[in-house]
Amino acid sequence: MKRIFEFLFLSVIVAVTSSCNIDDVITTSLPPKIVLDSETGIYTVKQGREVVIAPSYESAEGAAYSWTMNGEVISTSPSLRFMQEEIGEYFITISVSNESGTDKEEIRVDVVELEIPTVTIAGSKQQTVAVGTTITLNASVREASIETALSWSVNGEVVGSDNSYTFSAEAVGEYSITAKATNEDGTHSDSVVIKVLNAEDMPFVWEFSSEQYHTVAGRKLLITPSAISKEDGVTYLWMQVGSEESIGNESRLVFTTASAGEYKIIGTAITEKQGEKVVLSREFSITVYEAGAFYRPQNGGSKADWNKVYEYRPAPGQFINETKTGGFDGSQTTHDAAIAYAEKRMSEVDRDGNPYPNWVSLGGFGGYIVVGFDHSIDNSGDYDLGILGNSFSGSSEPGIVWVMQDENGNGLPDDTWYELAGSETGKTETIQNYSVTYYRPSGAKMPVQWVDNLGNSGEIDYLTQFHRQDYYYPLWIESDSYTLTGTCLKARNYDASGNGSYWVNVEYDWGYADNFSPIDRLTGDDNAAADANANHFKISNAIDFECQPIDLKFIDFVKVQVGVNTKSGWLGEVSTEVFGFYDYNMKKNDTINK
């Protein structure tokens, strides 16, 4: 009886300690519950910045808290103050416990890069100009999700806040012009130093890129300066060694001779500086070969398709260095690696081993590729050459086609390029010898700025919605700027929607690669799938630097150069793509023989 009484007494004590009697209602305590202040459980913070994670809790009276990461306790407070310098994902477990139970939640903290602005000023970083010169500088700032301010200063004095600044060289001296971009994450600046001299103190420049030239008997050779002062009162004199007669009196020389041989030419420029006579003398060697001396006939092993890429020098563009559709892998950091990339792309085959070439992008204006063949391609007077692009109705990105003979027989494309005339040749809006200089951006994911030889400037837009490579500037170009020169057509692209959503790249009549020509594609296929399709070209359309016809019996090398400097809104720059090249004469003969 006593044992029964003791049992009942202990049962009552247990019941009282595990329950509460509120207004005669017995209730039981609930375990704690974590309610995160993020629906996804993912928090984002910038490197070096602190984020406070403060969940709310239910039934957490008398609870103990524990935040653990990688097995280590990093806090025992209800909330967590978290900061890391290294970018990455961090997984953290929060645990809350009391005598009624335990609740746990795993969260993720993404530590992301600071959006420190990066600014680039287009153009040379060191310039020397005469008093009275006006220079417009343009700055590009990397896009950021936070507000960024730009300011210009000259020798430390703030002078502007627009994207461009016009400097007037009003007095002799040295001026440091700085563009500074600032936001809450940091500051970055870029500078240009301009040295201003009196006109009479400016150095006289008359420089040439080469002292050795070669040509073919009967053809015109142009020797033109790569850099020259824009001055009045300069006298030029060109003489052939061994002759006392002048052969030219301009800053450049057009040389021609009917006889093969070696020739020495002396060019002289005479001007006056500060009352003193300034004489610059340049000597040139010219080798003249007989026409057709190095013709390479077809043989039984000759193939219609190109057999080697000699140069691949694109302008910056959205598919340059791009690792997905562009096909780069990040190892293209040398000229040879870039050539190997282009050769591999245009040599791809399908699963059955049949030729299935892939495209190679040439970037913005002036970007080019040079290929050769295992034989000379004859001038038939009709279509001789095929070049594959991916044009379709409303999407033409014209490439200028150039051809070259191996005039000196060394097997390299170091001879004279001749343009193949097209439907736009000779029009007033077509610009010969148009040059664009591209500048390496100061930071990743920035547009590439350019300046042309007509005083215009602009940029190749970085399209964050499509691409993720750090740079559109080719990785294998070592210099901080490079210049591309060629023929520039008047752009025909336009916004058909009126709101920027639908752009049309209109075709040209004939004579251009990657162009939906109604004439030289030689097919009525609309190519709706944007597959590789060819334009065809006649060697008989070759012209020289004066846009005069040149009679080439054959050619050995072909170059395609992007022929427009324009962009189509969200589609980006208009950029010629090529898939391959072939001797159309051989294709025609194969068809006839079959």
Structure tokens at 457: 């400037």
CA atoms within 13 A on the CB side of 102: 9
Structure tokens at 408: 């000196």
Indicate the SS3 state at residue 555.
strand
- Cβ atoms of 185 and 46 within 8 Å: the answer is yes
**How far is it, in rounded angstroms, from Cα 241 to Cα 554?**
33
**How far is it, in rounded angstroms, from Cα 505 to Cα 527?**
15
Q: What is the pLDDT along the chain (594 residues), one digit of tens a residue?
A: 344 344 334 443 444 444 444 454 445 689 999 999 998 999 999 999 999 999 999 999 999 999 999 999 999 999 999 999 999 999 999 999 999 999 999 999 999 999 999 999 988 899 999 999 999 999 999 888 899 999 999 999 999 999 999 999 999 999 999 999 999 999 999 999 999 999 888 889 999 999 999 999 999 999 999 999 988 889 999 999 999 899 999 999 999 999 999 999 999 999 988 778 899 999 999 999 999 999 999 999 999 999 999 999 999 999 999 999 999 999 999 999 999 999 999 999 999 999 999 999 999 999 999 999 999 999 999 999 999 999 999 999 999 999 999 999 999 999 999 999 999 999 999 999 999 999 999 999 999 999 999 999 999 999 988 999 999 999 999 999 999 999 999 999 999 999 999 999 999 999 999 999 999 999 999 998 889 999 999 999 999 999 999 999 999 999 999 999 999 999 999 999 999 999 999 988 766 555
Q: Report how far Cα 508 is from the mean position of its chain's Cα atoms.
A: 25
Question: How many Å is the Cα radius of gyration of the chain?
Answer: 35
| Per-residue confidence (pLDDT) for residue 592, from 0 to 100 | 57
Kindly give the residue spans of alpha helices, DSSP state H, lying in 312-393. 335-346
Q: What are the C-alpha distances in Å from 217 to residues 289, 404, 407?
A: 6, 15, 10
**How far is it, in rounded angstroms, from Cα 323 to Cα 466?**
12
| Per-residue confidence (pLDDT) for residue 128, from 0 to 100 | 92
**Where are the strands (E) in 184-260, listed by range?**
186-197, 206-207, 212-216, 221-223, 227-228, 235-240, 246-248, 253-255
| Per-residue confidence (pLDDT) for residue 233, from 0 to 100 | 87
Strand partners, 88: 111
- Cβ atoms of 289 and 295 within 8 Å: the answer is no
Structure tokens at 30: 């609930």
Q: What are the C-alpha distances in Å from 396 to residues 422, 515, 562, 564?
A: 15, 5, 11, 11
Q: Which domains does the chain have, with CATH numbers?
A: 33-112 (2.60.40.10), 119-200 (2.60.40.10), 207-225+233-289 (2.60.40.10), 308-593 (no CATH)
Label residue 357 exposed, middle or buried (CB < 10 Å: 0-12, 13-18, 19+): middle
Those residues whose C-beta lies under 8 Å from the C-beta of residue 519, and which sit 6 or more positions away, are 509, 510
290-296 contacts, C-beta under 8 A, 24 or more apart: 290/216, 290/217, 290/260, 291/216, 291/217, 291/218, 291/219, 291/553, 292/553, 292/554, 293/409, 294/405, 294/406, 294/407, 294/408, 294/409, 295/376, 295/553, 295/554, 296/374, 296/375, 296/376, 296/406, 296/556
| Per-residue confidence (pLDDT) for residue 6, from 0 to 100 | 41
| Per-residue confidence (pLDDT) for residue 230, from 0 to 100 | 84
- Please report where in the chains the tokens 């892939």 appear, as a residue: 358
Label residue 209 exposed, middle or buried (CB < 10 Å: 0-12, 13-18, 19+): exposed
- Please give the torsion angle defined by the CA atoms of residues 342, 451, 567 and 484, in that order, rounded to the nearest 10 degrees: -30
Among 384, 573, 569, 550, which residue's Cα sits nearest to residue 484? 573
- Cβ atoms of 241 and 285 within 8 Å: the answer is no
Which pTM value belongs to this model?
0.85
CA atoms within 13 A on the CB side of 18: 7
How many residues can be counted in the chain?
594
Among 285, 291, 341, 276, which residue's Cα sits nearest to residue 313? 341
User: pLDDT tens for residues 294-305?
Assistant: 999 999 999 999
Taking residue 162's Cβ as centre, other Cβ atoms within 10 Å add up to 11
Those residues whose C-beta lies under 8 Å from the C-beta of residue 361, and which sit 6 or more positions away, are 314, 317, 319, 320, 326, 367, 575, 576, 577
Q: Report how far Cα 578 is from the mean position of its chain's Cα atoms.
A: 17
